[in-house]
Amino acid sequence: MSVYRRPLLQAWEAAYTAELTLDQLRRRAATVGAALAGQRARCLIAFDTRFLANLLAQTLAHDLAAQGVTVVLADAPAPLPAIHHALDQRIADCALYVSARNRPYYIGGLLLVADDQSGLSLDPARDPLPPIVFPPTNPFKETIDLRSPYRDALRHTLDLDAIRRLPLTFFVDAMAGTTAGMVTALFGEGGQARAIEINRDPDPLFARGAPHPFESPLNRLRKLVRESDSHLGVALAGDGTALAVVDPSGEVLDPFEASLLLAAHVAQYHRQRGLVIAPPPSPHSSLRAQPKQLAAWQEANGMKIELAGDSLHGERQPVVAMTTAGEVLLGRWSTCPDGLLAGLLFCEAAARSNGGLRALCAALRSQFSA
């Protein structure tokens, strides 16, 4: 997986029927299409599981193709890290993502993913738009599978066999988002480990909420983990960039604790050293980040900790970075936040520790207790 940094160049979001209309989406995509037609560039158009996202993406694909742009359309809802992976593989020069990421169900949007030197913009075109039929009556011809290559990249990133050969149980809450089915596909059949997925069925309204693990109480996931004696639970944001980790007692780990557990694992088993950007402990956390405690952890793990609540990038590329909202960046493999990869690394950490996540949490809490 690449470590080339490609920012989200622009994002436009609005409420359905209030500001988000088909006309507004088409006008913003038309600006991108006009620029790409002159550059002879290829555009990937992808979508999430949000209301009408697949039909809107098909419409934009037809529009850009009519402008003379070479377009490839995703054949299924795709997480944002899979889009970055496809761009790293030069499937296209940029991407339009019909998504509002992890916002509430009544918000829709469009993201432009491109190099910051591309000069592309989501400013709405003022020229008249050609008439269309919505929803499209003809499916777009050139589609691409984004999920399989992304899964293959994940398989090469971590030791899935170390997880599969042990009798472990993990619960995964897909939150009706784009990662649904991915963990179970990666675990496959024939291993002793089980990945049990909940909320995997499509729900364009996300149960009238937001597909974000820190904007949901995660009551069902926490109850299943606590009462089944499983090894951990993971809730993945709708766009696949953020996660929340549930420990065996059914409690959601504070992002400060989760980031240090993840960093210690990649230091020990993936031989990573460098910068860790962690959010400060929340006011409700029992952990405290005093200078002496931080220094001891840094010395033990060969890492440098920088406390920053909402930053994923420092002056140097971090080995691990996490925000208070649970977005996780793993600098060795990608500069796009990737909650699915982070969740799999937590499963790997539980598999490689004799006491599982419970023992890892207890050891860390003894270091940072008040």
pLDDT digits (tens, 9 = 90+) for 142-162: 999 999 999 999 999 998 998
In percent, the amount of the chain with pLDDT more than 70 equals 97
pLDDT digits (tens, 9 = 90+) for 10-21: 899 999 988 999
Name the average pLDDT for the chain.
92
Return the SS3 of 202: coil
210: alpha, beta or left, given left = phi > 0 and alpha = psi -120 to 50? beta
For residue 15, which of 106, 110, 124, 123 has the smallest C-alpha distance?
A: 106
pLDDT confidence of residue 1: 55
pLDDT confidence of residue 285: 85
- Which one-letter DSSP state was computed for residue 119? -
pLDDT confidence of residue 257: 96
Helical spans, DSSP H, in 40-179: 53-66, 80-88, 147-155, 160-164
The structural domains of the chain, ordered by start, are 8-145 (3.40.120.10), 157-368 (3.40.120.10)
Chain position carrying tokens 């899935």:
160
Helical spans, DSSP H, in 156-254: 160-164, 182-187, 219-228
pLDDT digits (tens, 9 = 90+) for 77-134: 999 999 999 999 999 999 999 999 999 999 999 999 998 888 899 999 999 999 999 9
Instruction: Tokens for 164, please give them.
Output: 């599969």
Distance in Å from the first CA to the final CA of the chain? 39
Return the SS3 of 23: helix
Neighbours of 155 (CB within 10 A): 13
pLDDT confidence of residue 314: 67
pLDDT confidence of residue 370: 62
**Total number of residues shown for the chain:** 370
pLDDT digits (tens, 9 = 90+) for 260-311: 999 999 999 999 999 999 999 988 888 888 999 999 999 999 999 999 878 7
